[in-house]
Amino acid sequence: MHDSNPFETFCAAVCAQVRFRPDRAAIQAELLDHLQDHVGALKERGLPVLDARAEAVAAMGDPVELGKSLDQLHSPLAGWLLAVLKWTSQLAAAAAIYFLILFLGRDLPDLLDPAYPITSRGVLYYQRGMEETENTVLLQPTATARTEDYTLSIPYAVLNTWEDGQRTLSYLLKVTHWNPWYRDPEIDAWISAQDDLGNVYVDGGSSAESGRLADTCRSWGNPLTDYPFISYYDMQVTGLDPGAAQVILTLQPFGVRECTLTLSLEGGEPS
Amino acid sequence: MKADKNLLSGSTTLLVLSLLAAGDKYGYEMIAELDARSDHTFTLTLKEGTLYPILHGLEKDGAVNSYTREASTGRTRKYYHITRKGLRRLEEQKREWTAFSQKVNAILSALSPAEGEALSGPASS
């Protein structure tokens, strides 16, 4: 009499010997494939299906012996150890990705393009000071200048006229660079200013043409903050000629003129 | 021809590795090829189920690895692929087998039938 499902009986007998349960399904699938392939081959030779099934099972040998041999190779200790290792590494990878997303999600925009530091003390100081005097003009700088390594722009500039008629230009200089090793260059020391009337403003120097005092007519500044790809500088030009309508800023690292930025002192809105 | 089971069992790993060296195969495909190439010696002598502990052992040792792919019949099969380690092992086993069989043949050919009778004892005298 034929077994109603000899394949299942055979596979169950093999798998019963395999102590590491998670591997049983794969073993059963592989053995079933083998049995079905064998039956297919026997049917092609003209054997009736039921006989072919019985022969395929018989050709496999003793299921208990086979199961015991497989059990030796699928030992529960190694199997569970490997499974735990796999789960742990998957969990660690998932946690790493989660924290990376969390970290980058919060810091990446700042890293690539931090909002200019409007809250920084220097810029706020000038803005607040000018509001108090009510002689403040918020300029609308648009110029951008490029050197081989840096791109310079002025996101924010204000012109303040003091009670004694002295004019001070304060501006935020943004310097972008794609090489993080170039961060925080000494831009503040490399910039000099000249107005459209020909007056030159340098740090610690004076304009020969106007004969104005060295300590009042200056172009100077300080590094404000720097990010891997962007550095900001808090810059000033003091003692501006009352007739000047434009300031031309020149970047001259080591005396070599690299680029210029033109800033109009008119056309802004009162703050 | 049905061979001595003990003679064959020692060489099954060598046979499996050499089959896989010719290309990736699934279990029954290997049996069918062994059967055809050995004039049914393999299947008559060894049970087909013995192939799987050999394959799983080789996989555990890193001599082969496995993957699932759709076979030409349209059904998915677990294929085995020989690794570099497996190929090195195949070369070693081939050398061992050649050296061993040469020694066995040398002994067999050195012993002529007359000597064989002499060895069998005093029955000839």
CA-CA distances (angstroms) from residue A160 to A16, A70, A127, A168? 90, 87, 9, 5
Residues A63, A180 within the same domain: no
Summary mean pLDDT of chain A: 81
In this prediction, residue A7 carries a pLDDT of 92
Q: In which domain, by residue range, is B10 found?
A: 5-110
Residue A70 within any structural domain of the chain: yes
Tokens read off for A37: 């392939």
Nearest to A34 among B28, B43, B53 (CB): B28
pLDDT band per the 50, 70, 90 thresholds, residue B125? very low
Contact between B53 and A71 (Cβ < 8 Å): no
- Mean pLDDT value across residues A255-268: 80
Residue B103 within any structural domain of the chain: yes
Would the CB atoms of A33 and B27 count as touching at under 8 Å?
yes
Tokens read off for A27: 């073993």
- Mean pLDDT value across residues A147-162: 85
Is A74 in the B-facing interface, judged by CB distances under 8 Å? yes
In this prediction, residue A130 carries a pLDDT of 53
Would the CB atoms of A60 and B78 count as touching at under 8 Å?
no
Report pLDDT digits (tens) over A157-191: 888 887 777 888 888 888 888 887 887 888 888 88
Residue B122 within any structural domain of the chain: no
Which residues are CB-neighbours of A137 under 8 A, at least 6 positions away? A158, A159, A160, A161, A265, A268, A269, A270, A271
Report pLDDT digits (tens) over A76-131: 888 889 889 999 999 999 999 988 877 766 666 566 666 655 545 455 555 555 55
The domain tally of chain A equals 2
* Residues on B contacting A at a C-beta cutoff of 8 Å: 26-29, 31-32, 43, 47-50, 52-53, 56-57, 60, 73, 75, 77-78
Residue A103 within any structural domain of the chain: no
Residues A138, A253 within the same domain: yes
- Please work out, in degrees rounded to the nearest 5, the angle formed at the alpha carbon of residue A214 by the alpha carbons of A210 and A215: 130
Last residue of a domain, one of A17, A43, A74: A74
Q: In which domain, by residue range, is A70 found?
A: 6-74
Contact between A156 and A116 (Cβ < 8 Å): yes
CATH number of the domain encompassing residue B31 = 1.10.10.10
pLDDT band per the 50, 70, 90 thresholds, residue A270? very low
- Mean pLDDT value across residues B4-33: 86
Cα(A143)–Cα(B59) distance, integer angstroms: 67
| Residue % of chain A over a pLDDT of 70 | 80
Residues A26, A133 within the same domain: no
Residue B125 within any structural domain of the chain: no
Residue A95 within any structural domain of the chain: no
Residue B92 within any structural domain of the chain: yes
What is the helix (H) or strand (E) element at residue B19, kind and residue range? helix B12-21
